[in-house]
Amino acid sequence: MTTTIKDGTSNTSEANEQIAVWVGLDWADKEHSVSVYEVGTGRSDRYTLKHTAEALQEWLSRLRTQYQGSKVAVVLEQSRGPVLYALMSCEFVVLYPVNPQSLANYRKTFQTSGSKNDPGDAELLQEMVRKHPDRFRAWVAEDADTRSLQLLVEGRRKLVNQTTRLTNRLTSHLKNYYPQALEWAGELNTRQACDFLMRWPTLQSLRQARPATLKKFYLSHGRPRTATLNERLKQISQAVALTDDRAVVLAGSMMVKALVAQIQPLIIAVEKYDDEIHRLFQLHPDREVFESFTGAGPVLAPRLLAAMGADRDRWQSAAEIQQLSGVAPVTEQSGRQHWVHRRWACPKFLLQTFHEFAKQTIVWCDWAKAYYEQQRERGAGHHAAVRSLAFKWIRIVFRCWKDRVAYDENLYLRGLERRGSKLAARTQLVRQAKELRRRQRSAQSVENLLPNLHIGA
């Protein structure tokens, strides 16, 4: 029986029979250790390969000539990077990226002393996959646009993380001598905040600015309500400094300007990433599927697409995604003991994607909010409840992605009702409570408006 599983991946007994050579490649910055095993002759060889584009291309050309275009399986300890990018375009190479933890555990089986060296690891890599090919997945590249989207959304997240670290430091320094700026500057990861702090890094410099100048500044960065703007100008005019210590103020303002100077280019870079991600996402044939998910939005919809990919053979079931992403819990049993815990060995960015998406749906999706509240009432912590919700969402995302159909929340709820699910009844209660709050807010708005109405005789 032939089984096809992609990461993008293809793993068949027929494909393994076509492989003429197994190559283990332990890569490094300057040179790579290579271990070769020829299937037909059983001959093994070891050598090193310099890490240059020319050396890699020459090596690939030599393999193509030596084995006359037969399939060459290359096993390496990474799923991305310069070596993988150099190999992925070769039609005769079958790539097997291996989790470093898998290699480490395999090494411990034969080397209990814990000794390690690159040539030995290269041999273990090819031996591990060659002897157990049914337990590993060959890597098949997505199309260029999907891979671009995958790399861009992950790169954007790294820039956002850098921005967050810097804004946290900025917050800490402002609290030491200029806490009012945390409110008056606005969100610290915005252009307005950076411009504000560069222009007025101390309360003294801000107090010297004319009200007309401050008003012009705020209007140039948005359209605040008149009442809000006037209140802010009043607060600035009456503000009292936290400290008059010149040393503290000088050191603090210098550090604030230094941090802002680092945050500004990151904000611009994230905006450029957003533009390019939006462009690629709008052109992608699966855009409508991922836009349909409640709460996905312009940031998470492309990330969900990147997580799933475009190749429908990549995943055979939702359970594969749940397990790989770390959303599915791990069950352990030994004798009479049995325990369940969260999965630690998983792609962190993939886990973040589904976790953050599930968290957003609590706000925008009624059944998701009902399910989350149900889990909390059963004693689950916040993150455990969100992971449990993500577990359900992955099944929905997988089915919509597999069938190329947009998500329809009403259709999903009708399915819950047909099955007599308690979640359907609880969702109705959530909707009723939401409608009641909406009516109360509407009534309150009318009450606030009545004193301002002038009714003539």
Residue 456: pLDDT band with limits 50, 70, 90? very low
- Phi first, then psi: give them for residue 25, nearest 5 degrees: -130, 110
pLDDT above 50 for 12: no
Q: What is the mean pLDDT of residues 436-455?
A: 68
Q: pLDDT by residue (tens digit) across 282-297?
A: 999 999 999 999 999 9
Inter-residue long-range contacts of 163-168, CB under 8 Å, 24+ positions, other chains counted: 163/189, 163/263, 163/266, 163/267, 163/270, 164/189, 166/259, 166/262, 166/263, 166/266, 167/263
What pLDDT score was predicted for residue 368?
96
Annotate 338-361 with DSSP letters as a single string.
EEEE---SS-HHHHHHHHHHHHHH
CB-based burial label for 121 (10 Å; 0-12, 13-18, 19+): buried
Tens digit of each residue's pLDDT (9 = 90 or more) over 188-234:
999 999 999 999 999 999 999 999 999 999 999 988 889 999 999 99
d(CA 306, CA 36): 34
Amino acid 352: pLDDT: 94
**314 vs 168 pLDDT, higher one:** 168
State which fold the 9-141 domain adopts.
Nucleotidyltransferase; domain 5 (3.30.420)
The model's confidence at residue 369, banded by pLDDT at 50, 70 and 90, is: very high
pLDDT at 343 over 60: yes
pLDDT of residue 394 exceeding 50:
yes
Tokens at 387, concatenated: 């992971």
- Enumerate the domain spans of the chain: 9-141, 149-281, 289-434
Give pLDDT tens digits for 408-422. 999 999 999 998 889
Radius of gyration of the chain (CA): 29
Least confident stretch, 12-26, 250-264, 344-358 = 12-26
Share of the chain above pLDDT 70, in %: 88
> For residue 135, what pLDDT is reported?
82
At residue 341 the predicted structure's pLDDT band, cuts being 50, 70 and 90, is low
Type of residue numbered 122:
A
pLDDT tens digits, residue range 81-138? Answer: 777 777 877 888 888 888 787 888 888 877 776 666 667 888 899 899 999 888 887 8
2 has pLDDT over 60: no
Partners of 24 in the beta sheet? 35, 75
Does the pLDDT value for residue 399 go beyond 50?
yes
